[in-house]
């Protein structure tokens, strides 16, 4: 069984209980990590607290150099890291390399630069305003992007001068272990980054309630985020939450229909649908609805489901048996409520592994469960609309507001509609993801932002000196 990383050393947990790490494509146990305890969290937080004054006082250029060295080492080990992620959580190898590994390496490089370049002081009248490191950060991360989500928290926190206690998801923890080894190799001082594996109700809650933790940054489900926020509020900790989504892609009547639909299917099925910002609802004008459904079905049928290490695979397994069963329950619920299953379904496409076929529902109406709730699987709901105003109303008609997309023949018109969406980011005609732009949501999709200088600000406190 692996160890925890506390105070610069790999340390045995106070518990001897192992957590099995399962390959979702084969259902085989590939590793074990400790089921950490509150005592482990306490040891890690105290190590982070001891390291904080020195790390906060370290020159920004030196902090940036260490982050840059870690980013370079991650790039050198990108192939190995991608294999870890493909094995650990089932992402197809090409996706695991490009999106799950090289993109996070780029994000880490950006924080290496921001550590030094981001201005920490300014003058307002007779006040000298200083931005200081917020303190000890509890970073709680999910399994769907097990490296990216870690770096989105650890990168800016370290760049700001904070120290970190990291709890990766126990479902897919191995990328976080490999990243911690990289930070140790580049010489990150003891206690600046600590790793405690374990389950959320034990380790996560101990982190959220620990009196020496100053900031809690959580990515995961809205229900779990609500719990973390409640616990952290007892001691008035700063909280950053990146939660669920039920994002909509609106295909306007003047859009290039085939391109928009094909792109929308790809977006929904990315990472087997296990992406919080995926546009899992596609809104199509009624005049072109049937044609759009045919294109979506034909497109989905080209997505090969299979072994993450097969170069032809586009859709890997879901991360666990529990997640597969959850998605199947939603597919059944969609049919029970009257939506038409036009592709995919509940039959397992392979004899072994936690697979679900790319699934498309037509005839979806606002208010249906599959239209309102985050499924987190390869399931697309296609919804007809009559007017643009109705489309905007449907898009805004869920508790979430994380992402969205607009397709139109006019960029200006698309932007005007995007401004009406209550959501944190909107892709216009397939606009690419920008790792320097703010990422986060409205409503129950979270609080705060990640990436770029906006992510760095989450880990800084403001102090004004009146002169």
Q: CA of 160: how far to CAs of 54, 61, 194, 230, 320, in Å?
A: 13, 11, 16, 26, 35
Distance of CA 259 to the CA centre of its chain: 26
Cβ neighbours, 10 Å, residue 431: 14
Angle at 249 (CA atoms; ends 349, 364), nearest 5 degrees: 60
DSSP single-letter state for residue 405:
E
Give CA–CA dist 188/74, Å, rounded.
Answer: 14
Both tokens assigned to 216: 């809690």
Are the C-beta atoms of 422 and 96 separated by less than 8 Å?
no
Both tokens assigned to 54: 């020195």
Are the C-beta atoms of 134 and 164 separated by less than 8 Å?
no
> The dihedral of CA 310, 316, 320, 325: what is its sign?
negative
Q: Which residue is listed with tokens 């999709």?
A: 445
Are the C-beta atoms of 121 and 130 separated by less than 8 Å?
yes
For 455, list phi and psi in degrees, rounded to 5. Answer: -70, -35
Residue 372: its H or E element: helix 369-372
Give CA–CA dist 79/82, Å, rounded.
Answer: 5
The two beta strands, 9-11 and 18-23, are unpaired
Q: What are the strands, taking DSSP E only, across 92-245?
A: 121-124, 127-133, 136-140, 163-167, 193-195, 215-219, 238-242
> The dihedral of CA 334, 169, 72, 84: what is its sign?
negative
**Catalytic (active-site) positions:** 242, 276
Residue 379: its H or E element: strand 379-385
User: SS3 helix, strand, coil % of the chain, rounded to 5?
Assistant: 40, 20, 35
Are the C-beta atoms of 190 and 218 separated by less than 8 Å?
no
Are the C-beta atoms of 204 and 228 separated by less than 8 Å?
yes
Distance of CA 49 to the CA centre of its chain: 27
Are the C-beta atoms of 198 and 227 separated by less than 8 Å?
no
Are the C-beta atoms of 251 and 257 separated by less than 8 Å?
yes
């Amino acid at each position: 069984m692996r160890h925890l990383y506390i105070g610069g050393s790999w340390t045995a947990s106070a518990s001897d209980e192992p957590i099995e790490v399962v390959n979702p494509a084969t259902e085989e146990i590939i590793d074990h990590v400790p089921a950490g305890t509150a005592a482990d969290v306490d040891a890690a937080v105290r190590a982070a607290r001891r390291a904080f004054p020195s790390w906060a006082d370290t020159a920004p250029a030196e902090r940036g150099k260490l982050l840059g060295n870690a980013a370079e080492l991650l790039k050198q080990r990108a192939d190995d890291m991608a294999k870890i992620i493909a094995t650990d959580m089932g992402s197809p190898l090409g996706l695991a390399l490009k999106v799950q590994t090289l993109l996070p390496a780029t994000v880490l490089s950006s924080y290496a630069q921001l550590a030094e370049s981001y201005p920490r002081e300014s003058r307002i009248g007779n006040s000298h305003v200083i931005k200081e490191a917020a303190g000890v950060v509890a970073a709680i991360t999910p399994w769907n992007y097990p490296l990216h989500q870690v770096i989105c928290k650890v990168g800016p926190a370290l760049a700001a001068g904070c120290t970190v206690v990291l709890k990766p998801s126990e479902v897919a923890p191995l990328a976080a272990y490999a990243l911690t080894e990289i930070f140790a190799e580049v010489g990150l001082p003891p206690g600046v980054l600590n790793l405690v594996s374990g389950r959320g109700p034990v380790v996560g809650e101990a982190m959220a309630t620990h009196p020496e933790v100053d900031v809690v940054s959580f990515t995961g489900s809205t229900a779990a985020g609500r719990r973390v926020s409640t616990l952290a509020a007892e001691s008035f900790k700063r909280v950053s939450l990146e939660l669920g989504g039920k994002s909509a892609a609106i295909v306007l009547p003047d859009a290039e229909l085939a391109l928009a639909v094909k792109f929308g299917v790809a977006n929904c099925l990315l990472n087997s649908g296990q992406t919080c910002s995926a546009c899992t609802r596609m809104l199509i004008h009624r005049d072109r609805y049937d044609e759009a459904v045919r294109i979506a079905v034909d497109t989905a049928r080209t997505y090969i489901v299979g072994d993450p290490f097969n170069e032809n695979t586009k859709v890997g397994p879901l991360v666990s048996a529990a997640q597969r069963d959850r998605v199947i329950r939603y597919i059944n619920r969609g049919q029970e409520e009257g939506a038409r299953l036009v592709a995919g379904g509940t039959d397992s496409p392979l004899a072994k592994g936690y697979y679900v076929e790319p699934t498309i529902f037509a005839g979806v109406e606002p208010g249906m469960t599959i239209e309102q709730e985050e499924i987190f699987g390869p399931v697309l709901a296609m919804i007809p609309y009559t007017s643009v105003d109705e489309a905007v109303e449907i898009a805004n008609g869920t508790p979430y507001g994380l992402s969205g997309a607009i397709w139109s023949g006019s960029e200006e018109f698309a932007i005007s509609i995007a401004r009406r969406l209550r959501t944190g980011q909107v892709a216009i005609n397939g606009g690419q993801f920008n790792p320097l732009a703010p990422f986060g949501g409205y409503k129950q999709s979270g609080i705060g932002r990640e990436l770029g200088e906006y992510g760095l600000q989450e880990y800084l406190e403001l102090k004004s000196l009146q002169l």
